[in-house]
Amino acid sequence: MTIGRISFEIDAEGENIMQEAKFRGKRVDNGDWHYGFYREFTMPDCWKHEAYRDGVNYYIDAKGTNESHLVIPETVGQYIQTINGYEIYVGDIVKAYKYGDTETEPFINKIVFENGTYWFGHWTWIEFLQTFRCIEVVGNIYDKNNS
């Protein structure tokens, strides 16, 4: 069984503070988003015929409930941070303006996790937070109307 990563946040003093492990993924049965803790479960040989893919099922378990849903693994994204009231996840499409630029078009890019860090275009997450303002989630790479 694989358990999701724990992400960290830097506080004002530059100290790491642990952040809740939270994920979202689209349900296999109806395509709705489901939020909670992510896990992968390798099915025993006698049940592999019931597995979603390659003998593995991918679940998101809702916090504080017994509710667990099979999700499409390609749609799973980890929660990163809440900015301006928007919960931001890997796979989100984000619009933001550079600090000091009043006449430029916004930058629009997807949030990815690569090489051990989160990225907005060619900016790491920390660079992104230091460089941009007016941050807004405008969609995600998984829903047809947003890609």
The pLDDT tens digits for 73-88 are 999 999 999 998 999 9
Res 48: pLDDT: 67
**42 & 92 share domain:** no
- Look at residues 54, 74, 94 and tell me which one is the last residue of a structural domain: 74
CATH number at residue 113: 2.30.30
- Residues facing residue 86 across a β-bridge: 83
pLDDT exceeds cutoff 60 at 13:
no
**109 & 88 share domain:** yes
DSSP run (H or E) holding 38: strand 33-42
Res 51: pLDDT: 67
Res 101: pLDDT: 77
Domain extent at residue 94: 80-146
**46 & 23 share domain:** yes
CA distance 120 to 102: 20
The token pair that represents 3 in the structure block: 């358990």
CA 74 to the chain's CA centroid: 11
**64 & 86 share domain:** no
**58 & 24 share domain:** yes
**7 & 69 share domain:** yes
CA distance 107 to 84: 17
**63 & 110 share domain:** no
pLDDT digits (tens, 9 = 90+) for 18-62: 556 799 999 999 999 999 999 988 877 777 666 677 778 889 998
Q: What percent of the chain has pLDDT over 70?
A: 82
Sign of the torsion formed by the C-alpha atoms of 21, 36, 50 and 44: positive
pTM for this entry: 0.78
What does the pLDDT average to over 104-118? 93
Which residues, in sequence order, are CB contacts of 27 under 8 Å at separation 6+?
33, 34, 69, 70, 71, 72
The domain tally of the chain equals 2
**68 & 90 share domain:** no
